[in-house]
Every structure is written in structure tokens, then in C-alpha cells.
Amino acid sequence: MAVETLSPDWEFDRVDDGSQKIHAEVQLKNYGKFLEEYTSQLRRIEDALDDSIGDVWDFNLDPIALKLLPYEQSSLLELIKTENKVLNKVITVYAALCCEIKKLKYEAETKFYNGLLFYGEGATDSSMVEGDCQIQMGRFISFLQELSCFVTRCYEVVMNVVHQLAVLYINNK
């Protein structure tokens, strides 16, 4: 079909010397060798991991399983007990701040990251009808209000950490 679009004074030599077929066979053999090597490599990895894979619980084979993970039943205040009352208070404050920061991080990851990442995705400017952008932004305002409150809370926690560190630093002098 491509030959028909060429000018009549340009003619292809239609002799098939079989070079494409030979090249395809060589590539097929190389691919076969690659697959064999890769299969043997995967088998070696599977054999090496076979002992550890057998330890995994299978619901169909073992309907009952024991959970042997340690469970800490002591509270944070019980773990911090020392004979020095001032040190107890300082460590308790920093531990509480660390727990608060962990909770804020979890809340940011689960509640706000996706909303900020995907806002406005999926719709192009040309596909939106007039007014859709305003409706989408109107629905996003409550999310932004929650985000504003979250950022304010983060700011308060960071300020508290900085104040606590400053007081500890001044008291050490």
C-alpha cells in the first residue's frame, strides 16, 4: 500500500532475500534464552525463600491462627515513672507532644493529602459547562475550612513544642 503512494518512476526491488525472517528468528531465539534464564533465576529465588514462605498463615489451610505480637498494656504515664518528679513532668510533656504530632500527621495523610492532590483533576477547562468551576469551588470550601482549622492546630502544636524546648534550654543554663 505504501508502494502505491510513491511516484511511478521509483520502484522497489521486490526480491525477498529472507533477511527479515532470519532476523526475526534470531530475536525469537534470544527472547527464548532470556525467558529460560529469567525462569531459572525466579526458581532459585523461590527455592531460597521457600522456607520463609511456608511460615505465612493461609486461611484455607489453617482456619485458626495465633497472633503472637506483643501488646503493650501500660500507659505512657506508667512508662515515664522515675524518682525525679521534675523529669517526670518534662518527659510527660514531650511524650504528649510527640503523640499529638503523630496524630496530626496521620490526620493530614488520611484526610487532606488526597483532597489537595486531586482537586480539579479529571476535568478539563473545555469540557466544563459554564458555572461548573464555581460549583466545584463551592463544594471545596468546606474542605478548605477544615484544612484551615487543621493548619491552625498544627501551628499551635509547633509553637508549644518550640516554647517547651526554649524553656528546657533556658533552664539548663
Q: Is residue 33 one of the residues assigned to a domain?
A: yes
CB 96 within 8 A of CB 115: no
Q: What is the DSSP letter of 129?
A: P
How far, in Å, CA of 107 to CA of 103, rounded? 6
How far, in Å, CA of 151 to CA of 118, rounded? 19
Q: Is residue 53 one of the residues assigned to a domain?
A: yes
Residue 111 shares a structural domain with residue 159: yes
Q: Considering only 27-41, 117-131, 144-158, which range has the smallest mean pLDDT? A: 117-131
- 131-146 pLDDT per residue, tens: 777 888 888 899 999 9
> Model-level pTM greater than 0.85?
no
128: amino acid identity, one letter? M
Sign of the alpha-carbon dihedral angle for 116, 122, 127, 130: negative
Last-in-domain residue among 32, 62, 92: 62
Residue 43 shares a structural domain with residue 81: no
Residue 50 shares a structural domain with residue 101: no
Instruction: Count other C-beta atoms under 10 Å from residue 72's C-beta.
Output: 8
Number of structural domains found in the chain: 2
pLDDT of residue 57: 58
Residue 120 shares a structural domain with residue 42: no
Residue 45 shares a structural domain with residue 128: no
Residue 26 shares a structural domain with residue 55: yes
- 10-26 pLDDT per residue, tens: 655 555 667 778 888 88
Residue 49 shares a structural domain with residue 106: no
Range of the domain at 46: 19-62
